[in-house]
A and B are shown apart, each in its own frame.
Chain A
Amino acid sequence: MSKGLGPLLVVGAGGHAKAVVGAAQVAGFDVLKVYDDDPDKWGEEVLGVEVIGPIRRILDAAATPTILAIGDPATRKAMVESLPLEWATLIHPNAFLESSVEVGPGTVMFAGVVCQPDARVGSHVILNANVTVASDCIVEDFAHLAPGVDLSHDVHVGVGVFMGIGAVTLPNLRVGNWTTVGAGAAVMSDLPESVVAVGSPARVIKSLVGKIGPREFNH
């Protein structure tokens, strides 16, 4: 690849991996290997890149920048805590970030993402295709905003939040840590931690206390 961002390793060979490997190749990374714990996937390819495993083998190449291709926020956090690796940041060339935007390591942004001035995006966040993050928003570590999510200005999205496809928020709101927002939901007031909220306006239908959050990840 012409841009020469250097070698990259990818963890996870599920559906999300294809989007990550594709974005990495377009951005100019040389994707060397994809790691997965499922023996059925070993020897397969993701966009021409060989899948090998188990994941702990990546520790032999720990100096190579790595990105997680795992959509689930809790699994992503567990992986980061168990794998002492150097994390890359992956931004698709067709994403647009104003120069004042801050982005943490391990974060992935896909095509069509727009981050407006002074937005702050944490570590190991996924901003999926066509996501809008308006001015002064904060998106905390391990959050995943699915395709087409739009945040109004001054919204605070907590750690490990998952927002389903096309969900939106009004300005100046807070979505609590580890909360799940359903597809197409319209968040019109603050949401607490560790709940599932759906619909328009989004209302809480379930508590996730004790059911979601950092999980054990054993190697």
Chain B
Amino acid sequence: MTEIVLINDGHLPKAVLVAAMSSGMTVRAIYDDQSERWGQTLYGVPFVGAVSQANALNIPGVIACDDPRRRKEIADQLDLKWGKIVHPFSTINPSAKFGPGTIILAGAILQPDVVIGKHTMISANVTIAHDCVIGDFVQLEPGVVLAGSVRIDDGAWLQIGACVIPCVQIGAGSSVGPRAVAIRDIPFETEVAGLPAMPV
């Protein structure tokens, strides 16, 4: 049985913890910078201390927090082997690949030849069509739909229900608003919303 620890700060997506447990992993502990949580448990898993205390553990970690910038800060801060979490109620074509630290939640669908980087979060009911390339520290909120051959660069945040049509690229650090539909390339560090998605 695979053992992991979770690293978190801010809102804790308990779906990540439950996904790990549902997939048969044993979650040994949660390291969280919210000190008021220390000593508490969630689904029987104890909050044992601050993020920094997870450094150099001999158990793989996964960064659970849903803020992609904070995930990157934590990943840069810690010397840790990174695990992956895949909810058993997800559909992943065997040709799809995803890097360490990446989390895939219930209902997600990854079609053939999808490539996903490190520490990316694929939330519930996200659909990723064939040949999409998704970078590191990307955040795809529930219900996001990516058509074929879409490219999502590092640190981009696609909010709940956002859609991207085929072959469109979302630049690094950009944000696509709730239920926005990106129909052309979005440059880096740009915030867009609406249908069609326009800068805000």
Contact in complex: A186, B177 (CB < 8 Å): yes
Interfacial residues of chain A within 158-204, with CB under 8 A of chain B in the complex: 166-171, 184-188, 200-201
Interfacial residues of chain B within 1-42, with CB under 8 A of chain A in the complex: 11, 13-15, 17-18, 22
- In the bound complex, residues from chain B placing their C-beta under 8 Å from that of A136 are 14
**Is B101's CB within 8 Å of the partner chain A?**
no
Contact in complex: B160, A135 (CB < 8 Å): no
Q: Can you list, as one digit per residue, whether each of B158-200 has a CB less than 8 Å from chain A (1) or not (0)? A: 0111000000000000000111100000000000011100000
In the docked arrangement, what's the CA distance between A114 and B159, Å? 17
Contact in complex: A132, B195 (CB < 8 Å): no
Chain B contact residues (Cβ within 8 angstroms of A): what range?
A: 20 to 34
In the docked arrangement, what's the CA distance between A8 and B15, Å? 33
**Is B141's CB within 8 Å of the partner chain A?**
yes
Contact in complex: B178, A153 (CB < 8 Å): no
In the docked arrangement, what's the CA distance between A153 and B161, Å? 13
- Size of A's binding interface in residues, CB under 8 A: 31
Contact in complex: B125, A112 (CB < 8 Å): yes
Contact in complex: B179, A166 (CB < 8 Å): yes
- Please pick, from B17, B106, B161, the residue contacting A168 in the complex, using a CB distance under 8 A: B161
- Please pick, from B105, B107, B142, B178, the residue contacting A112 in the complex, using a CB distance under 8 A: B107
**Is A130's CB within 8 Å of the partner chain B?**
yes
Contact in complex: B160, A169 (CB < 8 Å): yes
In the docked arrangement, what's the CA distance between A112 and B142, Å? 13
Contact in complex: A117, B124 (CB < 8 Å): no
- In the bound complex, residues from chain B placing their C-beta under 8 Å from that of A30 are none
Q: Can you list, as one digit per residue, whether each of B46-69 has a CB less than 8 Å from chain A (1) or not (0)? A: 000000000000000000000000
In the docked arrangement, what's the CA distance between A169 and B107, Å? 18
Contact in complex: B15, A134 (CB < 8 Å): yes
- In the bound complex, residues from chain B placing their C-beta under 8 Å from that of A213 are none
- In the bound complex, residues from chain B placing their C-beta under 8 Å from that of A153 are 11, 13
- In the bound complex, residues from chain A placing their C-beta under 8 Å from that of B107 are 96, 112, 114, 130, 132
Supplied contacts A116-B106, A200-B180, 17 more A-B pairs, CB within 8 Å: A96-B89, A112-B107, A114-B89, A114-B106, A114-B107, A114-B124, A117-B18, A132-B125, A132-B143, A134-B15, A134-B124, A152-B141, A169-B160, A169-B178, A170-B160, A186-B179, A200-B195
What are 16 A-B pairs at a CB distance below 8 A?
A98-B22, A98-B106, A114-B106, A116-B106, A117-B14, A117-B15, A130-B143, A134-B15, A134-B123, A148-B143, A152-B141, A186-B160, A186-B178, A200-B179, A200-B180, A200-B195
* Top 5 closest pairs, chain A to chain B, by CB: A150-B143, A168-B161, A186-B178, A114-B107, A96-B89
